[in-house]
Chains A and B, each alone.
Chain A
Amino acid sequence: MNDKAVLSVTGLRARVAEEDLDILRGVDLTIRPGEAHAIMGPNGSGKSTLAKVVAGHPAYEPTAGAVVFQGEDLLELEPDERSQAGIFMAFQYPIAIPGVSIANFLRTALQARLGDDEELDLFDFQELLMERMELLDMDPSFAQRPINDGFSGGEKKRNEILQMAVLKPALALMDETDSGLDIDALKVVAQGVNTLRKENPDMSVLLITHYQRILNYIIPDVVHVMYKGRIVESGGPEVAMELEARGYEEYRIAHAV
């Protein structure tokens, strides 16, 4: 690991666009290449909002602070530009796009990374897709299915991991990827993330989660506790264990407003 931050968030405040109240109220966070960070917190603490603001969700509006990704001011970029810069968000609720196959989608996404004058080689793409699916132990027919259309919860999350594997981001934001998954599906997803981290030790991960259990499978380097729009505690994996045991009550008392 080197010391240069892949993501540096400073004093970030953000709100739902057009609304008055900030949901993020001064977030500071630094992630270095190869690190896995987990952000835990109760409902409404702003942890998902943080992931969405970093990914560029149009429903959220930063009001103060900075987000710098590999030296670039992220808040100036459109969501597609952020993706092309190396950010990937695995959605909590992946969206169904009827009639569009996963393969077609990924081909378009890779083509978008090339210039207008450069054509993605279809044979190379097929090869890459097959290789990625093999890496994740997925059936090749999966990529021919329409995106998330009629998928089970587990299939949707596997689809997110496949997209991540093909797009090879520098930073993966996992927005409550574990919610709604049974333990087997959870293991499959965690295994996928671990496989990708092993393949690319510089890939950083920001895990947004409500529950400690996914952290049994994706071991974080740093665990942050988010409460009412701020990171109120950071530490090693033990923080997650303690949280699981004690809950958020002490933060509720300490940060009562």
Chain B
Amino acid sequence: MSRLASAPERADSSGAEDQGQIEGASSERATKNVARSPGGTAAEPEWLTSRRADAWDLYLSTPLPSTRSEEWRYTDVARMLPLDELAPPVPELSGPAISNGDGPVPEPLRRAMAQDRDSAGRVIDIDGSAVSVELQESLAAQGVVLSSLSEAVRSGDPLLESLLATRAVPASDGKFAAMNAALWTDGVFLKIPRNVQLERPIRLSRWVSHPGTATFTRILIVAEDHSRVSFVDEILSPDFEAVTLVNTAVELFSHAGAQIQYVSLQRMGKGGFYLANQRTLAKRDSTLDTLNVALGGSVGRVDLNARLLGPGANSDMLGLYFGDHDQHFDFNTSQDHVAPNAHSDLLYKGALDDSARGVFRGVIRVHEGAQRTDAYQTNRNLLLSERAAATSLPNLEIEADDVRCSHGATVGQLDAESLFYLMSRGLDREQAERLVVLGFLGEVLDRLPMGGVVEKVTKAIEVKLGHVR
């Protein structure tokens, strides 16, 4: 733990424009920890320094989740995540050329970015530092704010103090939320002003390069009344020999009548341990949709809580995972219907090959007074190998009487009969599997009205199926 404890020194000053400070801070990193020196530099305001310190205290006092707890029963972090061995990413290893935003983007990330057909803006994040931020000028002129999180803090926007790690993903959300709130280095702040509707998505393209490191990123999106935005958060990395942690906190606020669509494309390499805490807060008549795509990394754990806070609020929650080798994906979702007349619909589908493991635990909670709630939850799994396993645990907690809720879960096998049927038409085994998997997962992508993402995910699945190199 001692190495991680020193992370905030560099975290505080990881702004892209602040190269000198990053290096200055990191040279001290082994000597301090956040509890003794919260914030550490002049760059951060008092509120943040004390928020980090409180979060760090919580982190230290919160035990590591154990498999004895229901929510972590199938993901043994004590075994899978060697916290004591993780180090903060060292910025100088990324090279000043990349860190100041002018340098070459790593090739795999560049290729992934080239697949994106259109963007209204883009943030490039390398090893937990936003090194480049671009936004269409016309949008900036309309008051859209897209910036690195560190820059947003410096700008003094009062939204940061009121919303960062407070109402959505506070440190009190658990060990890893506390860890992120204490140690985050950078991330994205996006604000869409009232009535501004973006036609094209904003993208975050993330890359992690150093094995054995831990990276902490936060995304904060606020869509004011009747605004609209799509945000695609894609992360890639090379394969790692050592476990490499990426801890992401995603805080999404949609105000009255606004629409937010958040898409996470997790495409890390082997050794990647992806942890995400996502919370969506949807006010009256707003739409807050999410899609979590998990294809990469060795372990992926996503905690997603959708809160329907106003009548007429709506959340479509989609998930898609395709695991092979010994990949382990664990989704822990909850749909909190606080207000009446709200709607949420969750569909998570996963295909698992080789010895891959999928875990889905989902709960619909209809709070007292949330009458006329419409809430659905479906998890379907397709096993492509006898060694693959899926666990599905849907749940309902209903404290209102006038509701429509359903949940369902299935685990099916790609059986020999289906395979033979396809092969008897001339497809080889791989082609047959590809068709079945894409057909199975396609139901999720069909519900996503975002062309570029569908193609990218389809391509990525095909690569995993060994058809496209």
Residues of A within 8 A of B (CB): 55-59, 78-80, 82-84, 88-89, 91, 94-95, 97-100, 104-106, 108-109, 112-113, 146, 163, 167
Contact = CB atoms under 8 A, between A and B. Distances in A.
A113 to B, nearest CB: 6
A78 B423 contact: yes
16 contacts: A57-B420, A80-B423, A80-B424, A80-B427, A80-B428, A83-B423, A83-B426, A94-B421, A95-B417, A95-B421, A97-B422, A98-B440, A99-B439, A99-B441, A100-B442, A112-B427
A78 B431 CA distance: 14
A108 B431 contact: yes
A98 B439 contact: yes
B435 A58 contact: no
B439 A97 contact: yes
B457 to A, nearest CB: 14
Which of the listed residues B417, B425, B429 has the most CB atoms from chain A within 10 Å of its own CB?
B425
Given A83-B426, A109-B425, A58 B439 contact: no
Contacts of A163: 425
B420 A79 contact: yes
A23 B435 CA distance: 33
Interface of B: 416-418, 420-429, 431, 435-436, 438-443
Contact of A100 (B416, B426, B438): B438
Contacts of A106: 425
A79 B423 contact: yes
B467 to A, nearest CB: 11
Nearest to B421: A95
A59 B416 contact: yes
A97 to B, nearest CB: 6
A100 B427 CA distance: 14
Contacts of B421: 91, 94-95, 97
B177 to A, nearest CB: 36
Contact of B428 (A55, A82, A105, A112): A112
B380 to A, nearest CB: 10
A178 B136 CA distance: 63
Contacts of A109: 425-427
3 closest cross-chain pairs (CB), A and B: A99-B439, A100-B439, A83-B426
Given A79-B423, A83-B424, A97-B422, A112 B417 contact: no
A97 B416 contact: no
Which of the listed residues B418, B426, B429, B435 has the most CB atoms from chain A within 10 Å of its own CB?
B426
B439 A146 contact: yes
Contact of A95 (B418, B427, B428, B429): B418
A112 B424 CA distance: 12
Contact of A97 (B418, B426, B443): B418
